[in-house]
Structure 1
Amino acid sequence: MKSYFYIIIKYFEKLESNIAFYPSLISAAGIFFAFFMIYLESVGISKYLVEHAPILVVNNTETARSLLTTFIAGLISIMVFSFSLVMILLNQASSNFSPRLLPGLISNSRHQIILGIYNATLLYCIFTLVSIAPHGDKYQMPGFSVLLGIIFMTLSLGAFIYFIHSISQEIQVSNIMDKIFTKSKNRLEKLVESEKHLDTDFEDTSEWKTLMAKSTGYMQDISLNALAELSKENNLKIEIVPIKGVYVLKGIPVLKVKGETDDELEKSLLETITFSKNELIEDNYVLAFKQITEIALKAMSPGINDPGTCINAIDYLTELFALRMTKKDKSYYFDDNDKPLIYIKTVSFEETLFYVMAALRNYCKHDLIIVQKLFLMLQYLLQIDDVLDEHYKKAVVKEIENLKNDALKSHENEADLKVIKSQIERLERLNPSDQKIKS
């Protein structure tokens, strides 16, 4: 039962990133509040306020109708304009930076809340307008509700001003990269803190029972708490076969299980895995390396030609790689006795570094400034003392050799070659003798 609780929490977290989640909740709140105010008006709240605090009541029917009609028309215009700005943001981010950025921009909770405020105010004003009696004395008119409509419209105007400011910030590539970096850094730090730094081996899983994927999509996330609860309740050991973030096809292995299982238990185990057509950095930090690299490559394309953005991207990648060097390549979920219960496959540091460097070397090797920056990044990674595995530094040395070969082949000017060779000599002096860079 506890495992289903964890699955529900995970499902709610995914639902929260949907662009319609907060607007739907806030709009529903606006409708319920409108009906609540209609009820209060029916028991005479406006009549009471006219007698004791007349300043809180709009008691002219024509004024109330004009105000509410103007609010409704104005809010519709504001919503159309806001949607247009969002579409411009998404289009520019897709064409100038990377289409992978769109899920993260769409799931911006601040923009969702602002949209919800617009819609809730609009619905409140519509229901309040409908509740105005066509005939009757001034006490039957929902004067206090109209005043609240004025307050809500003022709040909507404030939200619109903030929305303009937020969009102008969101569309800047530096802020986009900083947000990606911050999310990935937080995710990595959380993983590093949760790791038990124990030397352990997981038993051979080749003979274990294999569970196949029942659907197709990116393996976005795994509810480890739910999976662990099922494992403890049924005395199981589990290996998660695919790496989080990969595209999983229906019918390929996703879990290997040691222990007795039945159809119901296998179904519960598979339900702990979330499949999606989108990828979010909050679930998979490796996506940040891909997105920042793609921004750097787009910046170096002939149509954009923005080396400054590429340099900023390399700075963010440097810090992320440095943090990644403090994390193990193998991840486990431990039981209360510090024994590995679940084996989680992850992308190794060497693979991550290779794929990032392969792309940057291919597109940026002709630019001496970027080549220098890449050498400085690798130099920094080579000098880090707090490294979990010395194998990581061997991977850095390998990428220095690859970058050196590409850089020397791509430049013929003697001055450029001199700069490149001086960078290589500096790295050779820093490098341990057992990891000598090949000349």
Structure 2
Amino acid sequence: MKTIFSSLFSFYRNIKSKIAFYPSLFALSGLVFAFLMMYLEERGISGYLVENIPVLVVNNGDTALTILSACITGLISMMVFSFSMVMVLLNQASTNYSPRLLPGLISDHKHQIILGIYLSSILYCIFILFSIQPTGDQYQIPGFSVLVGILSTVICIYAFIYFIHTISQSIQITFILDKIYISAKRRMNVLLEREKDAPTVFPDSSGWYSYNNEFSGYFRDIDRENIIEFCKEKGTMIEILPVRGMFALEGIPMFRSKKELNRDEVSQFFTYFHFAREELVSNNYVLAFKQIAEVIAKAMSPGINDPGTALNAIDYLTELLRLRMLKSDHSYICEDQKIFACERAVHFEELLYTLLASIRTYCKHDIVVVQKLGAMFQYLQKQKFKEATYPATLKTEAERLLRDAQEVLDNKSDLDIISEMATRLKIALE
């Protein structure tokens, strides 16, 4: 039962980020509501309203046909325009910032819900249109259903106004960066909360039984509760080998078990892994660092040349690095002060080098951006840190940045600024 639930949950998480998920749900609800209204019309709801509140009922067949036809035409036009604007947003984000931002933008629920409202209203109006008998008397016309169709069109108009407001915000880089930051911060706070008072001793697993991956895709998430129950039931400990967010190829070692497992137990354990074909910040905070670093590199590339965007992105990167310094380089799955499994994480040294390698390449020639990065290192050196090696890592990366900038810049004033930064960061440049 747990295996089935885990598989269904994994399927739900995969399709939830698709752009058609919420529109499909709303379309289905509009279809069901249309049949419900048809049923109520057969029960005489319009006849009752004609006798008691006639102002709420459209009692002319030709008028009802004209109104619903106009509503359907207008709603289709609004939906096409809205969908086109979403495509413009995705194209601009991919061209000007980074293609890696697209999964997060596509999974924006607000735009999906608005498209779903359009679609459900269109389907509702179409099916109500089919039920109209313009040659019949007033009791055969679904007058109340037509009124509901008019109201749904009015709701769509207000949704369209809200859509214009949100799309104008979503296309701004500050909004995109803020969304990435909030998602990553939320995820990191969850991880930091789990690390509180957690044990940090895990045995050497080099001699344990290793099991290869049976799937391929981005390693998105794991089912922590089921893994704990599995380890309790089988009396074993588990080490998960790939880093979350990496593309796990079929056939590579996926996990090690202290106790040997049979084929059925291995298959059961693999159901606790969640794979996907795209990455989301809400599942892997490291992706937020990559996205912001790519925004900085793209902004400073010769084709874009936008230092302002790079400076804004560095501010968000600084805050995320401060939070990352509060986290350990190891992640444990434990319960009641007992460790059941260990999950590999991206080490701070590896993370910082990966980020700064691309940033150095595109930013070392701009003294303003280099100053901003120097201020970032200076700020991080004064913050709290979880591991004793973090300050040395910061100093090493700062030294690489300033040395690259020193080799590229030839203006004496710029070189003096580099020397001042090196002094503040206590770096000896040749």
Question: Which band: TM-score by shorter chain?
Answer: over 0.9
CA contact (8 A) 1:334 1:341 kept: yes
The answer for the alignment partner of 1:222 in structure 2 is 222
Matched AA of 1:114: I
The answer for the alignment partner of 2:118 in structure 1 is 118
Secondary structure in 2 aligned to 1:210?
strand
Residue 201 of structure 1: CA displacement?
2.0
Residue 4 of structure 1: CA displacement?
4.4
Secondary structure in 1 aligned to 2:425?
helix
Residue 135 of structure 1: CA displacement?
2.4
Bigger shift: residues 71-80 or 173-182: 71-80
Residue 141 of structure 1: CA displacement?
0.5
Structure 1 residues 40-66: Cα deviation after superposition (integer angstroms, max 9, x where no partner):
111111110011111111111111000
The answer for the alignment partner of 2:52 in structure 1 is 52
Bigger shift: residues 373-382 or 233-242: 233-242
5 Å-filtered alignment, 1:31-110, equals 31-110=31-110
Residue 404 of structure 1: CA displacement?
2.1
Matched AA of 1:133: Q
Secondary structure in 2 aligned to 1:310?
helix
1:406 to 404, 414, 418: 404
Q: Distance in 1 between matches of 2:228 and 2:333?
A: 8
User: What root-mean-square deviation, in Å, do the aligned CA atoms of Structure 1 and Structure 2 show?
Assistant: 1.4
CA contact (8 A) 1:7 1:223 kept: no
Q: Distance in 2 between matches of 1:56 and 1:198?
A: 64
CA contact (8 A) 2:200 2:332 kept: no
Pair 1:175-2:181 in alignment: no
1:417 to 402, 415, 418: 415
Secondary structure in 2 aligned to 1:221?
strand
Q: Structure 1: which 5+ runs fail to align?
A: 429-435
The answer for the alignment partner of 2:27 in structure 1 is 27
Q: Distance in 2 between matches of 1:420 and 1:299?
A: 22
5 Å-filtered alignment, 1:39-438, equals 39-198=39-198, 200-336=200-336, 338-384=337-383, 386-428=384-426
Matched AA of 1:264: D
CA contact (8 A) 1:7 1:226 kept: no
Q: Distance in 2 between matches of 1:200 and 1:383?
A: 25
The answer for the alignment partner of 1:432 in structure 2 is none
CA contact (8 A) 2:198 2:334 kept: no
Residue 281 of structure 1: CA displacement?
0.4
Q: Distance in 1 between matches of 2:360 and 2:13?
A: 38
Q: Distance in 2 between matches of 1:47 and 1:145?
A: 12
Q: Structure 2: which 5+ runs fail to align?
A: none
Secondary structure in 1 aligned to 2:136?
coil
Matched AA of 1:358: A
CA contact (8 A) 2:62 2:134 kept: no
Q: Distance in 1 between matches of 2:238 and 2:395?
A: 35
Matched AA of 1:396: L
Residue 17 of structure 1: CA displacement?
1.4
Q: Distance in 1 between matches of 2:20 and 2:316?
A: 31
* TM-score when normalising by structure 1: 0.95
Structure 1 residues 330-384: Cα deviation after superposition (integer angstroms, max 9, x where no partner):
1101133x12111000001111111111111111101000111111000001011
Structure 1 residues 162-181: Cα deviation after superposition (integer angstroms, max 9, x where no partner):
11111111111111111111
Secondary structure in 1 aligned to 2:87?
helix
Bigger shift: residues 306-315 or 226-235: 226-235
Q: Distance in 2 between matches of 1:207 and 1:287?
A: 32
Secondary structure in 2 aligned to 1:390?
coil
Residue 216 of structure 1: CA displacement?
1.6
Residue 273 of structure 1: CA displacement?
1.1
Residue 3 of structure 1: CA displacement?
5.5
* Count, aligned residues: 430
Structure 1 residues 98-136: Cα deviation after superposition (integer angstroms, max 9, x where no partner):
110111111111111111111110010011000012421
Residue 260 of structure 1: CA displacement?
4.1
Residue 220 of structure 1: CA displacement?
1.5
Percent identity for Structure 1 against Structure 2: 50
Secondary structure in 2 aligned to 1:274?
strand
Q: Distance in 2 between matches of 1:200 and 1:107?
A: 36
CA contact (8 A) 2:3 2:271 kept: no
Structure 1 residues 226-275: Cα deviation after superposition (integer angstroms, max 9, x where no partner):
22222222222111000011111110011111224222211111111122
Residue 437 of structure 1: CA displacement?
5.1
Q: Is the alpha carbon distance of 1:198 and 1:65 closer, same or farther for their aligned partners in structure 2, counting shifts above 3 Å?
A: closer
